Amino acid sequence: MPKKVSKEDLDLLNELGVDTAPQKQAARTPREQRIIAGYEEIERFIEQHGRMPEHGENRDIFERLYAVRLDQIRKQPECREVLKDIDVKRLLDVQDDVKSAVVNEDEASDEELLEALGVANGVADDITELKHVRSSQEKMAAEEIAQRIPCRNFGVFKPLFEQVQSDLESGFRKTLKYQDNGEVKKGDFFIVEGQKAYIADWGEPFISSYNKPDRRLRVIYDNGTESDLLLRSMQRALNRDESSRRVTDPTLGPLFSDQEEDDDQAVGYVYVLRSKSDNPFIAENRKVIHKIGITKGSVQQRVVNAAKDPTYLLAGVEIVETYKVSNLDLKRLEKLLHKFFDPARLDLQLKDRFGFDVEPREWFLVPLPIIEEAIQKLIDGTLPRHRYEPKEGRIV
């Protein structure tokens, strides 16, 4: 426990010429307090990272703000005067070679970001300054660093993230580099700052104060948090992150399409066949017995020798439907479809031309409209949420 200073101690100090009167600390104005608080945040950043904050599109938004703030503090005599006694690390005397960040028209300027964090050029008139009223620049900066909050109903979204991860591992989905200011819409998945983000909902469109179309988003993250930032703010976050990715949606186009793109990979076809066999059971149920398969080459070429192949029930076939596929793991896609219709798999034994028993495994007792419905659910990415009920003859 600290020893109390006695009257005798004070008298002795006075005799030695030491001023023992309590030092009155000058009251700080709100602006000076903001300047000091902003400086201390920069100090904490340097202590945590062991370096000065830097500009650059690849830098975290907070680091960019600190870099801008430090630049402006160094330029302003008022700030230097306020901080001169606490600048023990002499940050005000260090000059970076890094040039100011270039901000495009879709982003707030450095000065706007600076103002939002408490340090602005010039001194506001205390009479005319509105207290506790955020400027448009402050609001925009707040959007840039929107705070995430716990997602109360994350249990609803967790299965979606798990399914997306499973789809990525299976090759059903893939990730593409996000293109600057690319489309962001409800239902999209992205990877930003190393986390999966799901655009769960969006509000009505409106024109922002910058005369640009915008709308409010509800963004769910795979760590159980969410934020309600604006669409353009989400785009800026994706733009800044050099490693940001768009998670492909298994939609008609990149996965099922009529046109082959230059960068398409593993192009193939999902095909649906109907047998021309005269087997009594097959003949009786011909309209609902179908083979579902996948081939990398021409479907017509694949079935040219169907009458000699047990896979095709040793009979000719009718090509009922074909769907062109690209950018997917074809084998896994085939397994996915076969697993989905497994309850309706045809249990049939045939003898091949050598007299051996064979059991074709790619034929299913399922109506064509149900197969088409399953393909559509495969396209929109919802197939794993459903199952086929053969007794009811429908997808549930």
Has residue 199 got a pLDDT over 70?
yes
Who has greater pLDDT, 27 or 131? 27
**372-381: average pLDDT:** 79
Has residue 234 got a pLDDT over 70?
yes
Helix axes 136-144, 231-240, angle to 10 degrees: 50
**pLDDT 10s digits, 336-353:** 899 999 999 998 888 777
Tokens of 353: 């031309």
Has residue 23 got a pLDDT over 80?
no
pLDDT, residue 378, reads: 78
Who has greater pLDDT, 50 or 25? 50
**Average pLDDT of the residues of the chain:** 77
pLDDT, residue 256, reads: 54
pTM over 0.75: no
Has residue 120 got a pLDDT over 70?
no
- Total residues belonging to the chain: 396
Has residue 136 got a pLDDT over 60?
no
**99-112: average pLDDT:** 40
pLDDT, residue 12, reads: 60
Flag the least confident range among 76-80, 125-129, 238-242, 296-300. 125-129
Beta bridge partners of 358: 350
**390-396: average pLDDT:** 89
**pLDDT 10s digits, 262-303:** 444 446 889 999 999 998 989 999 999 999 999 888 899 999
Listed residue (183, 184, 165) closest to 173, CA to CA: 165
Has residue 9 got a pLDDT over 70?
no
pLDDT, residue 336, reads: 87
How far from the centroid of its chain's Cα atoms is residue 76's Cα? Answer: 39
Query: What percentage of the chain exceeds 90 in pLDDT?
Result: 21
List, in sequence order, the alpha helices (H) in the chain.
Answer: 7-15, 30-49, 61-75, 77-83, 110-116, 136-144, 154-170, 231-240, 280-284, 299-302, 330-340, 368-379
Q: Could you give the CA distance from residue 233 to residue 141 in angstroms, rounded to a whole number?
A: 9
Q: Could you give the CA distance from residue 372 to residue 386 in angstroms, rounded to a whole number?
A: 14
**pLDDT 10s digits, 40-56:** 888 888 888 888 888 87
- Cβ neighbour number for residue 273 with a 10 Å cutoff: 25
pLDDT, residue 350, reads: 81
